[in-house]
Homo-oligomer: A and B are copies of this chain.
Amino acid sequence: MARAATTADAFNAVAEPRRRQILDALAEGERPVNELVGLLGLAQPQVSKHLRVLREVGAVDVRDEGRKRLYRLNGHALKPIHDWVKNYERSWSERFDELDVVLEDLKQKEQDDGDNDQ
């Protein structure tokens, strides 16, 4: 088997930096392809291809307006990523320090109880 397709899920789609750039740009509002081409400094075909990937994982929606195609962010598709990574937040966030102390105490208490059973 080869690497999973970029369109397999949001994780794979967003692994490409250009696609994150596109989402960041769309966070400020709807934009036509050419505007993204200007912002990214990438050729138009590549931008269209990246947008296709983002569409396939549901991270963007499209709307036709004359000859332009307006792309819009759909952040919902990124929730699974957030849900997964937030469980690791304790690794760097000080907000969890206090909670960790409490958990350590509980652990210690449990161990003491076990010792009493012996």
Name A's B-contacting residues (CB within 8 A).
3-4, 6, 11-12, 14-17, 20, 23-24, 27, 73-76, 78-79, 81-82, 84-92
Contact status A85-B85, CB under 8 Å:
yes
Chain B residues closer than 8 Å to A14, beta-carbon distance: 11, 15
CA gap between A34 and B67 in the complex, in Å: 58
CA gap between A23 and B86 in the complex, in Å: 13
**In-complex Cβ contact of A3 among B6, B78, B82, B84 (8 A):** B6
Chain B residues closer than 8 Å to A3, beta-carbon distance: 3, 6, 16
Task: Name the residue of chain B whose CB is nearest to the CB of A87.
Answer: B27
Chain B residues closer than 8 Å to A78, beta-carbon distance: 85, 88, 91
Most buried by B among A12, A17, A85: A85
Min C-beta distance of A83 to chain B, whole Å: 10
Task: Give 21 pairs: A residue, B residue, CB < 8 Å, sorted on A.
Answer: A3-B3, A3-B6, A3-B16, A4-B15, A4-B16, A4-B17, A11-B15, A27-B87, A27-B88, A75-B88, A75-B89, A75-B92, A78-B85, A79-B91, A81-B81, A81-B85, A82-B82, A82-B85, A82-B88, A82-B89, A85-B85
